[in-house]
Amino acid sequence: MKKPVFTGAAIAIITPMNADGSINFEVFGKLIDDQIARGTDAIVVCGTTGESATLSREEHVECIRFVVGKVAGRVPVIAGAGSNDTAFCISLSQEAEQLGADALLLVTPYYNKTSQAGLLAHYTAVANSVSLPCILYNVPSRTGVNIAPATLAALAKLPNINAVKEASGNIAQVAQIAALCGEELNIYSGNDDQIVPLLALGGKGVISVVSHLCPAETHDICRLWFAGKPQESLALQLKLLPLCNAIFSDANPIPVKWAMNRLGWQAGPCRLPLVPPAPATQALIETEMKKLGLL
């Protein structure tokens, strides 16, 4: 059995920015402290929600360095280091390891449209270049490629391929992954609206966006499940469902960054080509936040 990097709810944390688009490390630090204080079980830095696609390499490295230092061992820090260039992915992964990250999050190579054999070769090369646990990130709606269950089963044989963040939305596929991989691969939900279904299939938790707004509740969905209280866990999942839908009503992280600004967090703008949500989307998010007493 492979020990999970974390159990419960990790936050795929935003990268707060100033009005000029530079990184606001003061707000970043306050957000990290608040999340840990409210029960978040791990911090994922430089993921999709952190706008990794528009961070320079220097900013990427600085964010990892900052988060590792700020967290100071309180919870695991998982560094996003994925790329569609295997050589670059290896280089960034090695640097993240040197900076003190506890694990890596490695999105599937995007745009290139590699085959399953290519995914196997890519992830094998990256995993063999580091000693950190690797969490593979399957999000075909963004990358254009899906990791097949059989490919994950082959990759799970590598000692430091620890887990998959499953964001395909395909519960049948997750069931097949669980059946093929067993205890050789941990499974995390990559969708906030599917935490309980993945826990029911043996999942270890979620890498969450809604945790920005409801960290304690997202943590508790997992805590209650593992405490043998599935009905309470499900009730909380369903309570948060409308908000989960609202914050994915536009491309992530547009809605959640807007929501954090609405809460007074000074999260700043998204970098182009992402633009603020339309007025109707803003109204939807605000309505669901008010229903939960967040505003």
pLDDT tens, 200-248?
A: 999 999 999 999 999 999 999 999 999 999 999 999 999 999 999 999 9
pLDDT digits (tens, 9 = 90+) for 128-168: 999 999 999 999 999 999 999 999 999 999 999 999 999 99
Mean pLDDT within 80-93: 98
Fold classified for 8-229: TIM Barrel (3.20.20)
Q: Which of 165, 188, 204, 257 is catalytic?
A: 165
Pair of tokens at residue 257: 């960054």
Extract the runs of DSSP E, i.e. beta strands, from the chain. Answer: 8-12, 42-45, 77-80, 103-107, 134-138, 161-166, 186-189, 205-208
Q: Which of 70, 123, 137, 257 is catalytic?
A: 137
Residues in the chain: 295
Provide CB contacts within 8 A for 276, sequence distance 6+: 254, 258, 269, 270, 282
Pair of tokens at residue 166: 């499953």
Is 165 assigned a catalytic role?
A: yes
Is 110 assigned a catalytic role?
A: no
Pair of tokens at residue 28: 């970043």
Contact present, 229 and 278 (Cβ < 8 Å): no
Mean pLDDT within 32-48: 98
Per-residue pLDDT band at 25 (split at 50, 70, 90):
very high
CA distance linking residue 27 with residue 69, whole number of Å: 15
